[in-house]
């Protein structure tokens, strides 16, 4: 035999128990569990189809399944990630607008641009570094160097005769190449491209001799012998290029080469702590999914998914290194 309850009688019964504090706690718990009650917007401040977009969609799909609400990816490319990041910074801090982006827009741009419409340290909440994004250092096969120390010696001996490429002014490829040129007194020419694909084609064609580039773009040509891999940045070898040593393990341990970019999730500053906690709880489970791990590794990234506190610690640690790299490259943009 069923028993019928109505909302008023239940609340009156709770009040009769003198449970005002108990009731308040129950209602607070109800409010907490109400997120999310509508679709979540996930901004990607780059065009669709790139590695960041692929990771964002992977995380978005997994998050949607866990929270029972759609996660809608919104590609807002342009101005080195500034347009999309600014949209996030100015969005309501309610947990319904998130972003998956790179260290470029969340950290480096504040040193690169004389004016930014947002302050990443004040306007953004750093939720989690989803993945480390080390890159490969590759050369044209004609370059007679097989490791980092040989390459540095070659660069130094060929002052004013070499060119290195980047996927844009202020990118890691530009900053690291400029650092190499400056520390070796090599006077290398910097050639900036609109993306990695045309840069790699010119490197294969011999118009360039050196570049830093993502494994996603270089691996097919390394495997085919059309590019020579010198090393990878960071302190851990890449899963998709396990035979290529890090520059660090080759004994060249400058911060500029040990550093790596990252893919991360952010939100507007001021999102309630309980929403942040729920979000991170979901992300922590998502990173255990073998399919998610496979996609991250396939893009040449190393899975991380750290806590907001760990993210902030890493951010503060890396910030002065990026600032010094921008200054060394004399890379300033309006």
The DSSP annotation for 94-121 comes to SSSEEEEEEHIIIIIHHHHBS--SS-HH
Supply the pLDDT for residue 33.
54
Which one is predicted more confidently, 153 or 332? Answer: 153
Domain locations in the chain?
40-132+261-329, 135-258
- 328, burial (CB in 10 Å: exposed 0-12, middle 13-18, buried 19+): middle
Which one is predicted more confidently, 11 or 306? Answer: 306
- 170, burial (CB in 10 Å: exposed 0-12, middle 13-18, buried 19+): buried
Whether the domain at 40-132+261-329 and the domain at 135-258 fall into the same CATH topology: yes
pLDDT grade, residue 87 (50/70/90)? very high
Q: Where in 89-185 does DSSP place strands (E)?
A: 97-102, 124-133, 136-139, 163-166
The class (CATH top level) of 40-132+261-329 is alpha beta
Bridge partners of 163, per DSSP, are: 189
Residue 117: CA atoms inside 13 Å, Cβ hemisphere, count? 12
Supply the pLDDT for residue 11.
41
Question: What is the average pLDDT across 225-241?
Answer: 95
- Whether 267 and 181 have beta carbons less than 8 Å apart is answered as no
Interatomic CA distance for residues 91 and 33, integer angstroms: 22
Tens of pLDDT, residues 55-73 = 999 999 999 999 999 999 9
Cis before residue 36, ω within 30 degrees of 0?
A: yes
Interatomic CA distance for residues 293 and 58, integer angstroms: 10
Question: Picking from 4-8, 127-131, 147-151, 192-196, which range would have the lowest pLDDT averaged per residue?
Answer: 4-8
- Whether 96 and 280 have beta carbons less than 8 Å apart is answered as no
Q: Above 60 in pLDDT, residue 30? A: no
Question: What is the average pLDDT across 77-92?
Answer: 93
| % pLDDT > 70, the chain | 90
pLDDT grade, residue 1 (50/70/90)? very low
Query: For the domain 135-258, what is the CATH code?
Result: 3.40.190.10
Q: Above 60 in pLDDT, residue 4? A: no
Supply the pLDDT for residue 121.
95
């Amino acid at each position: 035999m069923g028993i019928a309850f109505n909302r008023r009688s239940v609340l009156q019964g709770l009040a009769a128990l003198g449970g005002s504090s108990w009731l308040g706690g129950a209602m607070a718990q109800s409010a907490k569990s109400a997120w999310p009650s509508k679709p979540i917007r996930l901004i990607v401040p780059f065009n669709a189809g790139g590695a960041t977009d692929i990771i964002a969609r992977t995380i978005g799909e997994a998050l949607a399944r866990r929270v029972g609400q759609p996660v809608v990816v919104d590609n807002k490319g342009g101005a080195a990630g500034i347009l999309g990041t600014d949209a996030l910074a100015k969005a309501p801090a309610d947990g319904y607008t998130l972003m998956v982006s790179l260290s470029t827009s969340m950290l480096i741009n504040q040193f690169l641009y004389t004016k930014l419409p947002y302050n990443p340290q004040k306007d953004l909440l750093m939720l989690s570094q989803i993945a480390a994004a080390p890159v490969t250092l590759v050369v044209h096969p004609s370059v007679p160097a097989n490791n980092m120390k040989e390459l540095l010696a070659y660069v130094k001996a060929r002052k004013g005769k070499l060119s290195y490429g980047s996927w844009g002014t202020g990118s890691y490829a530009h900053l690291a190449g400029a650092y190499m040129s400056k520390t070796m007194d090599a006077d290398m020419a910097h050639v900036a491209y609109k993306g990695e694909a045309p840069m790699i084609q010119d490197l294969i064609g011999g118009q360039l001799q050196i570049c830093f580039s993502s494994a996603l773009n270089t691996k097919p040509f390394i495997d085919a012998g059309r590019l020579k891999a010198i090393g990878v940045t960071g302190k851990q070898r890449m899963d998709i290029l396990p035979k290529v040593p890090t520059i660090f393990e080759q004994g060249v341990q400058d911060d500029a080469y040990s550093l790596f970019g990252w893919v991360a999730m952010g939100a507007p500053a001021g999102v309630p702590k309980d929403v942040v906690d729920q979000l991170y709880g979901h992300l922590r489970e998502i990173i255990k999914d073998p399919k998610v791990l496979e996609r991250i590794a396939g893009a040449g990234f190393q899975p991380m998914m750290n806590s907001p506190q760990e993210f902030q610690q890493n951010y503060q640690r890396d910030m002065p290194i990026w600032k010094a790299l921008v200054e060394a490259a004399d890379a300033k943009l309006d």
